[in-house]
Amino acid sequence: MALNDKGCSDFHISPKLAAAKKASEIVEDGMVIGIGSGTTVELFIKELSKRISHEELELFGVPTSYQSMLLAIEAGIHLLDLLECSELDICIDGADEVDLKLNAIKGGGGALTREKIVAYASREVVFVVEERKVTKILKYPVPIEVLPFSTGYVLKTLSKVMRDYGSSSKPRLRHGTGKLGPVITDNGNFIVDCDFGDIENPKKLEKELSLIPGVVECGIFAGVADRIIVGGEGGNTYELSR
Ligand code: 5RP
C-alpha cells in the first residue's frame, strides 16, 4: 500500500501529496520540464519517478535548485540547462501563496530567481499547492533575492517602499539553520523577506521591487501561472485556471 508524506495510506492522502500526484499525471513522454523547488516539488518528482520506471518514460528537466537537481538525478530525469534548451514544454512548481487570479508568491525555499526564469521560459506554467495556500488577497511576506554588495542600499530602499505601502514592518535579512549568518542562495546572494500586508496590486509591486538596483529578483509571480492544481483535505484536487 502506498504511503504519503505523513506515512498515511492513499485512503488518507495529504492535500500536498494529492496535488503533487495530479501534477505528475499531466507530464507526457519526451517532455522538457522546468522543475521548481520545495517540499511539494519533492513529492512531484517522487511520483514522476514511479511513472518513469513503470511506463519507461524518457523525461528531461531543468532544475531550479541543488535540491531539485539531486532529486531529479535520483528519479532518472535527464538534466538540461537553459544554454542547451531555451524553451521548455512545462514548468511545475510549488508556491507559498496563490490568489484566485493565479498570482503567486514564491521563494520560501530561496530559489525564486531560477524559478522565475524557468517559468518564463516554459510554454505552460503549473503551480501545485495545498488548499490552505489559496487566498483572495496575497499577503505572504515577499522574498527578495539581493546581491550581497547592495544589501545596505536595498534594505534602506525596501524600508521606504514598505512605508509607502502602509506596512509598519521592516525588511528582514533571512537567516537559516545549519550554518551561521544569512542564507546564501544557489546563486550566491542574500534573501530579504518583506511583509507588505495585503498586496492589492501584485503586478505593480513586482515591477517596483524589480527596478531597485541590487535586487536580483522578487518572489511575486504576477500573471505567470496558466493553471494551479490545488490539493484539498481528503485527497481531492481541483484546478484554478485562466
Ligand atoms: C521555493 C519555492 C517553493 O515552491 C515554495 O516555498 C513552496 O514550498 P513548499 O512546497 O515546500 O511549501 O518557491 O523557492
Same domain, 146 and 32: no
Active site residues: 115
Domain span at residue 166? 142-216
The whole-number average pLDDT for the span 140-168 is 98
Reported as a single tens digit per residue, the pLDDT across 21-75 is 999 999 999 999 999 999 999 999 999 999 999 999 999 999 999 999 999 999 9
Q: Which residues contact 70 (CB under 8 A, 6 or more apart)?
A: none
pLDDT band at residue 242, thresholds of 50, 70 and 90? confident
Nearest-atom number in ligand 1 for the CA of 128 is 10
Same domain, 116 and 9: yes
For residue 68, how far is its CA from the centre of ligand 1 (angstroms)?
Answer: 11
In contact, 88 and 27? CB cutoff 8 Å = no
Q: In the chain, how many domains are there?
A: 2
Give, for 40, the enclosing helix (H) or strand (E).
Answer: helix 39-55
Same domain, 20 and 113: yes
The domain that holds 23 is classified in CATH as 3.40.50.1360
pLDDT over threshold 60, residue 8: no
Ligand 1 proximal residues by C-beta, below 6 Å: 36-40, 93-96, 106-112, 115
CB-count exposure of residue 219 (10 Å: 0-12, 13-18, 19+): buried
- The partner residues of 142 in beta bridges, in order of sequence, read 194
Site to substitute for ligand 1 among 106, 113, 144, most atoms within 8 A of C-beta: 106
Nearest-atom number in ligand 1 for the CA of 106 is 13
The domain that holds 207 is classified in CATH as 3.30.70.260
Reported as a single tens digit per residue, the pLDDT across 182-223 is 999 999 999 999 999 999 999 999 999 999 999 999 999 999
Same domain, 211 and 102: no
Same domain, 124 and 166: no
